[in-house]
Amino acid sequence: MSIGLYQTVTETDFVDAFNTEERKEQFTHEARRALFTYYDQLADDCDIPMQFDMIGVCCDWSEYDSAEEAAAECITDWQDDTDDALSALEYETTVIEVSGKTWRDGEYVEFTSVLVQSF
pLDDT value for 31: 96
What's the confidence (pLDDT) of residue 95? Answer: 97
Q: For residue range 65-106, list pLDDT tens digits in order.
A: 999 999 999 998 888 765 699 999 999 999 999 999 887 889
pLDDT at 34: 97
Taking residues 28-32, report their average pLDDT.
94
Q: Does a structural domain hold residue 18?
A: yes
Residue 4 is assigned to a structural domain of this protein? no
Statement: residue 9 has pLDDT above 80: yes
**Contacts by residues 116-119 (CB-CB < 8 Å, ≥ 24 positions apart):** 116/61, 116/62, 116/63, 116/64, 116/70, 116/74, 116/89, 117/60, 117/61, 117/93, 118/59, 118/60, 118/61, 118/62, 118/93, 119/74, 119/92, 119/93
Q: Name the domain count of the chain.
A: 1
Classify residue 87: in a domain, yes or no. Answer: yes
Dist CA 79 CA 86 (whole Å): 13
Q: What is the mean pLDDT of residues 30-51?
A: 94
Kindly report the backbone phi and psi dihedral angles of residue 4, in degrees, each rounded to the nearest multiple of 5, phi listed first. Answer: -90, 140
Give a yes or no: residue 6 inside a domain.
no
Inside any domain, residue 3:
no
Q: Answer yes or no: is 99 within a domain.
A: yes
pLDDT tens digits, 11-29: 999 999 999 888 989 999 9
**Domain hosting residue 31, numbered range:** 11-117
Query: What pTM was estimated for this model as a whole?
Result: 0.86
Residue 2 lies in a domain: no
pLDDT, residue 7, reads: 79
**Quick check: 48 pLDDT over 80?**
yes
Q: Which residue has the higher pLDDT, 77 or 1?
A: 77
Residue 4 has pLDDT above 80, yes or no: no
Q: Is residue 86 part of a domain?
A: yes
